[in-house]
Structure 1
Amino acid sequence: MILFHSPLSPFVRKVMIVLHETGQLERVTVQGVNISPLNGDEQLNRDNPIGKIPALRLDDGSVLHDSRVICEYLDSQHVGLPLIPREGSARWRRLTLAAQADAIMDAAVATRYETFLRPVDKKWDGWVTAQGEKIRRGLASLEHEHLAEIISGFDIAAIGVACALGYLDLRQPEFDWRGEYPGLAAWYAEVSQRASMLATGPAA
């Protein structure tokens, strides 16, 4: 399999962590791409018409894209404990929490594009503020309503939250989320030392 990859994408990192946690890293060849909303990659565009990463080309030539689809596929390909519950209410609960983590990452990436890529005279401060509010609402919900669920195991929901927090550290170091969400901070301090997290960080 071939994974279209950029080391700074939190969504790619999520897939890489799943590969590590499920023991499938050696099954995948990583193909680096350097893309932005304004500049694509020709090979990636052929495999994923939307031109976004991650995308996973399977051995039969078919291509999966969107980190949620790729992670679910990879979780179906190993014999260990599943990272996504196979059925029942637990499945939908964990996928919902994972989707919330994805939404935090989406807002953080949108903020990055607005502040880094858009010309200064066209920047929209209200947009940045709105994305920041989404991030804070999402983190507050995880801290005050779902912390026990997040810390209960390192599954797809926890992986997503860890990737979101790591991306905030990378792109918004001025945001003191640790001060605002001490429960998440304590948990992240622990899980960030997992081998899969250390191996997939931006500096790894």
Structure 2
Amino acid sequence: MQLFFSPTSPYVRKVLVAALELGIGDRIEKLASAAHPINRDPTIIASNPLGQVPTLIADDGTVVADSRVILSYLNDLAGGTLLPADPKARLRAEIDQSLADGITVAALLVRYETAARPAERLWPEWVAGQWDKVRTTLAHFEANPPGARIDVGTIALACALSYLDFRFPDHGWRDSCPALAAWYAAFEQRPSMAATRLA
């Protein structure tokens, strides 16, 4: 398998963490790419018209786009349990993945707004709105900690938190989320997380 890769993408990291947890990390070849919201990479577009990472090319040539779809594909391929068999547990994992991805989307939009948009066009209210999404979703996880599960939800959450630390080290999310911070401190010690740190 081949994966269009960016070392700073939290979504790529989700895929790599999942692959390692499933025991198939060594089957993925990383393809260098330069995904960007404005200067789009034609190399990725040739396989995925959205031009986004992660994009996985399966061994049979099937192109799988979007980290959620890729995680589902890898889980099925490996016969894994990152999407639990029990319907209630699976629903919780998928809900948590969606909420965690929402944190990542909001943080990425802040990043694009403050790093890619010309300063004279910066929209402070937009940035504030995205940060409020982060705040309220972190508060949800603080009130509903994920526990010891290893599934698509917890992987997505850990990758979202690591992206906040990577791009916004002064954000201070831990100050209002001590239980979540403690959960993350333990989760990021997993070998899959240690091997995929954002750079």
2:129 partner amino acid: A
Partners of 1:151 and 1:106 in 2: how far apart?
23
Match of 1:181 in 2: 177
Partner Cα separation in structure 2 for residue 9 and residue 108 of structure 1: 12
Deviation at 1:21, TM superposition (A): 0.5
Q: Distance in 2 between matches of 1:143 and 1:65?
A: 30
CA offsets per residue over residues 134-182 of structure 1, 9 Å max, x none?
Answer: 00000000101x21xx123121111111001000001111111111100
Secondary structure at the aligned position of 1:200 is classed as coil
Corresponding position of 2:114: 115
Q: Give the conservation status (yes or no) of the 8 Å contact 2:10–2:198.
A: no
Q: Take 1:27 and 1:7, find their aligned partners in 2: how far apart are those partners?
A: 18
Deviation at 1:28, TM superposition (A): 1.1
Show structure 2 runs of 5+ residues with no match.
Answer: none
Would you say 1:59 and 2:55 are equivalent positions?
no
- Aligned-residue offset at 1:23: 0.7
Q: Which amino acid aligns with 1:143?
A: E
Deviation at 1:79, TM superposition (A): 3.8
Partner of 1:135: 134
Note if 1:97 corresponds to 2:96. Answer: yes
Q: Which moved more, 1:66-75 or 1:89-98?
A: 89-98
* CA distance in structure 1 between the partners assigned to 2:79 and 2:153 by the alignment: 19
Who is 2:43 aligned against? 43
Distance 1:134 1:68 in 2: 20
- CA deviation profile, 1:31-73 (whole Å, cap 9, x unmatched): 0212211112212101110111100011121100000000000
Aligned-partner residue type, residue 133 of structure 1: D
Secondary structure in structure 2 of the residue aligned to 1:131: helix
Q: In the alignment, residue 50 of structure 1 is paired with which amino acid?
A: L
The number of aligned residues is: 199
What whole-Å deviation, never above 9, does each CA across 1:77-100 have from its counterpart, x for those lacking one?
1145x1111352221121011100
The superposition leaves residues 1-33 of structure 1 with CA deviations (integer Å, 9 ceiling, x where unpaired) of 110110111000000000110110121111021
Q: 2 CA distance for matches of 1:88 and 1:7?
A: 34
Aligned-residue CA RMSD (Å): 1.0
Q: Under a length normalisation based on structure 1, what TM-score does the superposition of the two structures give?
A: 0.94
TM-score (norm: length of structure 2): 0.97
Measure, in 2, the Cα distance between the counterparts of 1:123 and 1:64.
34
Equivalent AA in structure 1 for residue 12 of structure 2: V
- Structure 1: 5+ residue stretches without partners: none
- 1:114 is paired with a residue whose SS is helix
Aligned match for 1:151, one of 127, 147, 150:
147
**1:201 is matched with which residue?**
197
In 2: Cα distance, 1:23 partner to 1:104 partner: 27
Which residue of structure 2 lines up, in the alignment, with residue 17 of structure 1?
A: 17
Question: Is contact 2:33-2:43 (8 Å) kept?
Answer: no
Aligned amino acid, residue 198 of structure 1: A
The 2-side partners of 1:142 and 1:32 are apart by: 34
